[in-house]
Amino acid sequence: MSSVDLTGRVALVTGGAGGIGAAVVHRLAKLGARVAVLDLDAAGARRVASAVDGIALGGDVADPATMPAAVERVEEELGRLDVVHLNAGIGGGQAGVDDALDVARYRKLVGVNVDHVVYGLCAAVPALRRQGGGKVVITASLAGLAAMPADPLYTLTKHAVVGYARAAGKALADEGIVVSALCPGFVDTLLLGAAREEFDAVGFPLLTPSDIADAVQVVLAQGQPGEAWIIQPGGQASAYRFRGVPGQMPPDVVLGRT
């Protein structure tokens, strides 16, 4: 596995109270970083943070005020910000393909899975600029690269996250801010819910939170701006190769000037 030294660096992890987030918090701390743990579960955030001599932040990442306040507090208490893992996420929980749409539930899904990523990156970039650059890893999903008919709304949000990471990564690359998306397969966390039993019944292999922490470490060491990295059980994290759009795109379109 690629090594990365985070001694003297400061990291912020959202959704850090359990599952993938907690595993990444412990990994970043092991690599030398001081870590701020942000979660709606404030008690859980305190528990994880105390185990790594970090700081805990409670808040709803779907609230536009939460991420700016979190970044401000990180800089105040830890002095800087170098690494951000925008990891918080929830499942769709409804089909979203008929007139039975629960709008409130849908808005919550988009708020956590999409809005939080935008709020988080916009809040973090000024802090990263003050350090001359930094790394941002966004937890997406294989559902951001391929259709998941069992949960179309979740698929929608993760496609949005992958597209945002690809574009934002290129937009910030010249400033030394590397934005990457991580697209794991199914991970053994509470997000699986009742589906966990179905996977067990058919012997379907699942990734562990530790596997994702391994992948985050690789992305921090090797990731390039705007890449989407995939990780599946038994495999190594690798950058996904997008086919590209057929035909030649005018430079102004590529640079976003149209």
Residue positions annotated with a catalytic role: 154
Residues 87 and 129: their CA atoms lie apart, in Å, by 21
Distance CA(107)–CA(87), nearest Å, equals 18
What does the alpha-carbon distance between residue 108 and residue 62 come to, in Å, rounded to a whole number?
7
139: closest CA among 76, 182, 198?
A: 182
Contact assessment for residue 76 and residue 129, using Cβ atoms and an 8 Å cutoff: no
In 3D, which of 156, 204, 151, 212 has the Cα closest to residue 183?
212
Best CA proximity match to 32, nearest among 58, 13, 53 = 53
DSSP 191: G
Cβ proximity of 221 and 239 under 8 Å: no
